Structure 1
């Protein structure tokens, strides 16, 4: 990979070696940190429900906890609108520095927050506000991070490089899952639900400052610098994206419908699914989630590599079609598994199939838009889809299982939404493998 950076005498000179790796790390590290902060809510949802939503029915408390989890996704479009505009106006790097600070501070607030028993209704209200601030940060992070990586890559390795944005997100969730696994082994259930869960949230402030200083030490992408110097960047990128790229924005929204549901039900809901509905120990759910995330992280860059060779669309069709064909029988095996090994095989297969879609999907959506509106055009529909599909996924799955008494409601719901994604991939998305990313 050859990266390019702005220099006084060479506007688009090459960046190699250690500095090249630093730029790649800066694009990924914030994703890792933000998604650790963002994901730990899902892993400690049971503890949060006990502390902030006490009711006579634990299932109602858990649903209320997931409703606040969903608020983070409802707020993500705000981040997409706000920081998408900033990403196209003040630069990708500067925007990323702001989002990582906001995420860390809001996560710290959640860890330090008194419980319902201590301050009453104010506790869940403040929790909801902090969760929304997390959502605004995550909504602003994604489009800028993907654009940052894509604009520092070459046409023949762009999908491979940008796939590491998804690896970063998965690594953040993995660290959250490993934290949950560690805590569930060293703390009793009572201690974990009482105060043990707070440790992960309080660590958010350290993450915020580390991510900020990592990103402050890199330069802006050459694509944005050239657009700024040539006066070709948009004064009103969000308006221009809606005016000239509506079809692309609709395509992004539909591509992410089933993808978001599948992502959160496979990669974050599993500890709750395993413990609450399959009635197995919590540490089994955490360990399976960790294994799933590792398989997913390994498969993502392989899918990106294949997408650089054969195109984005074939891989996306294979991944979304694979979820439709195999998620129900695989979940059936999981629900009836008699050994831990069988469960490991099932979750790894689910992760690999889904990675076939996600590996090329991220770069494909960013390639739909020109540089001057890329962050806005990509972020807004992506985050709107997040609010509609991702934020409600675990709550909907919990509600469906509670109402039907059928644990197989999870793959059924995944398949219904993935139909939308598959149809959008086939009929709306036009192959973007050879587009110029700097235009």
Structure 2
């Protein structure tokens, strides 16, 4: 049975889910199209093309801490809605530039530089998107409805990734220009910007701002300094453990869509079109699994689901090198990917709702934004630049050097927040 959701919450989750879908569609469109366009912007004749193409991929995550600082302040000062509208517009502009950008053949090294900057802008926009949408719903609802609403937004990100690989596969199947895909991304981002103008500011954030203003009725600085809304610090331990927990989903996604795609091309000889078709099937499975998780989060506490999936994921980690080394067809790899996706180490469903409440509301956007940004920057950069060299040097078991420590850190973080949540479950959220 679905939880009791008010009309305003239905409107908010619909608009936020649409926007998150659009943002992640645009962000992941490049990742899937890269199997086709990398040679155009990073040709093999270009010195260090592998290094630079990986940097372009990672730039979507490396620039996120900058966005966390800028938009964290905007989100905690001007509001959640303002940041969401600004970043959706940024996504539209970056897609437009990529769509019309001349390749390396025409403008030389300027092409990959501009492309990398556009990817950085997309990364910043998607960071604020997912953090802003989750915070908006967190501050507009209460548990257990809160867990379900926030998960719907996260599931829309999954659907956005699936739609991106589906479009990329269709473009390749019909032998159309890759630029059409990015022009479609522009349209998608513009639609998201217009649709979200109907959002109202999150109620909890608005109430906190009003209480802060009441402290400022006397312009005395001493009165303002006594405000508990400003004096409550960000817990550094909570920030660290949330960052460790958030690294795991990024590492899992890299294995599913980046490392596996490279393995399919280099070891099994699949063409870019075949890799895209393969990933389309995997993406569909990811969407379907989200429906199951959405049902489970209505029945069980989020941490029970998260810990169960994590334990089963460890089995997949140990099996992965042996499955890959004996793979004779893409089917066996698809089965491995599907198991890794079903039993992913992920803070969803519902975990982020518990994490975010452990930070003061008027500093919350900055805290969760920086944590999410640093987790993506560290994990994707580590995977992109280290996983392939490790497996080349140590064999496929070399992936354990990254995957096992990430898994351990994830579980330490989950148990930290589970213990913290047990202490504060009957208290009000930190304000």
- Normalised by the shorter chain, which TM-score bucket? 0.7 to 0.9
Corresponding residue of 1:251: 241
Secondary structure of 2:200's partner?
A: coil
Contact (CA 8 Å) 1:36, 1:176: kept in 2 or not?
Answer: yes
Map Cα deviations across residues 80-129 of structure 1 (whole Å, 9 max, x no partner): 22112222222212211111110111121112111112112211111122
Change (3 A) 1:409 1:198: farther
**Number of the residue aligned with 1:209:** 190
Q: Which secondary structure does the structure 2 equivalent of 1:368 belong to?
A: coil
Describe the shift of the 1:30–1:437 C-alpha distance in structure 2 as closer, same or farther (beyond 3 A).
farther
Match of 1:184 in 2: 172
Report the count of equivalent residues: 416
Structure 2: distance between partners of 1:408 and 1:242: 45
Q: 1:27·1:165 contact (CA, 8 Å) conserved in 2?
A: yes
Per-residue CA deviation, residues 375-432 of structure 1 (Å, 9 max, x unaligned), is 222111111111111244234333434x338455446532332222122223465353
- Higher deviation after alignment, 329-338 or 311-320: 329-338
In 2: Cα distance, 1:146 partner to 1:161 partner: 9
Residue 337 of structure 2 corresponds to which residue in structure 1? 347
Assess if the C-alpha contact under 8 Å between 2:313 and 2:345 holds in 1: no
The answer on whether the counterparts of 1:180 and 1:286 sit within 8 Å (CA) in structure 2 is: yes
Residues 281 and 328 of structure 1, relative CA distance in 2, 3 Å threshold: farther
The residue number in structure 2 matching 1:426 is: 415
Tell me how far apart the structure 2 counterparts of residues 46 and 296 of structure 1 sit (CA, whole Å). 21
Task: Assess, with a 3 A threshold, how the Cα gap between structure 1 residues 220 and 436 changes in structure 2: closer, same or farther.
Answer: same
Determine the structure 1 residue equivalent to 2:205: 224
For the residue of structure 1 that corresponds to 2:350, the secondary structure is helix
Match of 2:403 in 1: 414
Q: Distance in 2 between matches of 1:361 and 1:263?
A: 18
- Encode CA deviations 1:142-199: one digit per residue, 9 max, x unaligned: 2111111223333122222211222121111111111222122222xxxx7xxx2222
The answer to whether residue 359 in structure 2 is matched with residue 369 in structure 1 is: yes
Residues 253, 385 of structure 1: 8 Å contact kept = yes
The alpha-carbon deviation at position 34 of structure 1 amounts to 1.1
| Residues 295, 47 of structure 1: alpha-carbon distance in 2 compared, 3 angstrom cutoff | closer
Q: 2:255 matched to 1:274?
A: no
1:325 aligns with 2:315: yes
Contact 2:9 2:140 in 1 (8 A): no
Which of 210-219 and 155-164 deviates more?
Answer: 155-164
- The 1:49–1:405 alpha-carbon spacing in structure 2 relative to 1, beyond 3 Å, is farther
User: Does residue 143 of the first structure (1) align with residue 131 of the second (2)?
Assistant: yes
CA contact (8 A) 1:274 1:284 kept: no
Q: 1:409 to 1:333 in 2, by over 3 A?
A: same
1:97 is aligned to 85
Contact 1:367 1:432 in 2 (8 A): no
Q: Secondary structure at the match of 2:349?
A: helix
Give the structure 1 partner of residue 22 of structure 2: 33
Distance 1:354 1:225, change over 3 A: same
CA RMSD of aligned residues (A): 3.1
- TM-score, normalising length: structure 2: 0.85
Instruction: Indicate if the aligned counterparts of 1:23 and 1:218 stay in contact, CA closer than 8 A.
Output: yes
Q: Report what 1:313 is aligned to.
A: 303
- Match status 1:68 vs 2:51: no
TM-superposed CA distance for 1:308, in Å, is: 5.5
Structure 2 residue aligned with 1:120? 108
Instruction: String of CA shifts for 1:333-387, please: whole Å, max 9, x gaps.
Output: 3553455554443322221101765323332322322332222221111111111
Question: Taking structure 1 as the reference length, what is the TM-score of the superposition?
Answer: 0.84
Cα pair 1:299 1:356 within 8 Å, conserved: no
Structure 1 residue 20: Cα displacement: 4.4
SS in 1 for 2:143: coil
Does 2:66 correspond to 1:78? yes
Counterpart mapping for 1:11-26 below 5 A:
15-16=6-7, 20-26=9-15
Asked whether the 8 Å contact 1:28–1:164 carries over to 2, the reply is yes
Aligned to 1:172: 160
Distance 1:391 1:37, change over 3 A: farther
Structure 2: distance between partners of 1:241 and 1:262: 37
Assess if the C-alpha contact under 8 Å between 2:233 and 2:360 holds in 1. Answer: no
For residue 368 of structure 2, give the secondary structure of its aligned residue in structure 1: helix
Rounded to whole Å, the distance in 2 between the matches of 1:233 and 1:88 is: 17
C-alpha separation between the residues in 2 aligned to 1:218 and 1:145?
Answer: 11
Residue 44 in structure 1 maps to residue 55 in structure 2: no
Q: Distance in 2 between matches of 1:369 and 1:125?
A: 37
